[in-house]
Amino acid sequence: MTIRYLIVDDEPLAHDLIKGFAKELPHLQLAHQCYNALEAIAYLQSEQVDLMFLDLNMPKLKGFDFLRTLNHPPKVIVTTAHQEFALEGYELQVADYLLKPYSFARFLKAIDNAFPPQTGHPTQAPAPTPDEQQKLFVKGDKQYHRLRTDEILYIEAYGNYTKVYLPSGMLLTHVSLSYYAEKLREPAFLRVHKSFMVALDKVDRLSGNRLFIGEHEVPIGQTYRQKVMGLMG
């Protein structure tokens, strides 16, 4: 069964993120995009949707004020950077409350919360083909990037940010190294230093306390050395 969804958000990047995630779920179908609540009111006067992704901090009319104007609202997933309004959202019976930035896994959980599997909506992501790799959506350079994990060479902590090294160059992303440590698991990726993670299949050689990936050198921390040596054989 198809779920027709509406995006109501004043940030184009937020639209791109939702559409990118939704493309991974074939039962989600984009109905319309609105950049403020007034556009959404006009659209909903003549059209119906199953699901609405709703931002809160928008010009002219705030998200929850807009939601209160609807007599028969669709299922609502709030997407916002403001955690403090969560209680109000649940009082308005929103299906879920996504805090930006959010992962695909969290997005998928929100869809399941809005349309539990027993309702007949196939909310499981399609099984990946053998050559299909995991993808991450991360914010960097004021836009969201879709990273193929098989293209990552290594990752370096940079304060509250991280530098992701790819064959095409370095991308500064707005998440911490712990985010990648949670998403990228062994044995494909390994933490080799408090500030570095590497893709093991990209390592060319090991010498002393250094790993070499092409022209790049990555230090091995003393507390990680034994594990690195074991996995490297």
Residue with tokens 């199953």: 50
163 within domain boundaries: yes
pLDDT-derived band at 90 (thresholds 50, 70, 90) equals: low
138 within domain boundaries: no
131 within domain boundaries: no
How, if at all, do strands 75-80 and 96-99 pair? parallel
**pLDDT tens-digit profile of 145-188?**
778 889 999 999 998 789 999 999 999 988 888 888 888 887 88
The domain spanning residue 84 has which CATH number? 3.40.50.2300
Q: Do 115 and 9 lie in a common domain?
A: yes
The domain spanning residue 212 has which CATH number? 2.40.50.1020
The region of weakest confidence among 8-17, 30-39, 128-137 is: 128-137
Task: Give buried/exposed letters for 144-181 (b at 16+ CB in 10 A, else e).
Answer: beebeeeebbbbbbeeeebbbbeeeeebebebebebbe
Do 54 and 77 meet the contact criterion of CB atoms below 8 Å apart?
yes
Mean pLDDT computed over every residue of the chain: 84
Q: Do 167 and 203 lie in a common domain?
A: yes
Q: What is the pLDDT of residue 116?
A: 79
The region of weakest confidence among 11-25, 65-79, 142-156 is: 142-156
pLDDT-derived band at 130 (thresholds 50, 70, 90) equals: very low
127 within domain boundaries: no
Alpha-carbon span 171 to 224, nearest angstrom: 25
> What's the token pair of residue 22?
């939704």
Q: What is the pLDDT of residue 187?
A: 80
pLDDT at 124 over 60: no
Main-chain phi, psi angles of 31, to 5 degrees: -90, -45
Alpha-carbon span 71 to 154, nearest angstrom: 51
Q: Is the bond into 26 cis (omega within 30 degrees of 0)?
A: no
Alpha-carbon span 211 to 158, nearest angstrom: 19
Domain that holds residue 63: 3-119
Q: What is the pLDDT of residue 146?
A: 76
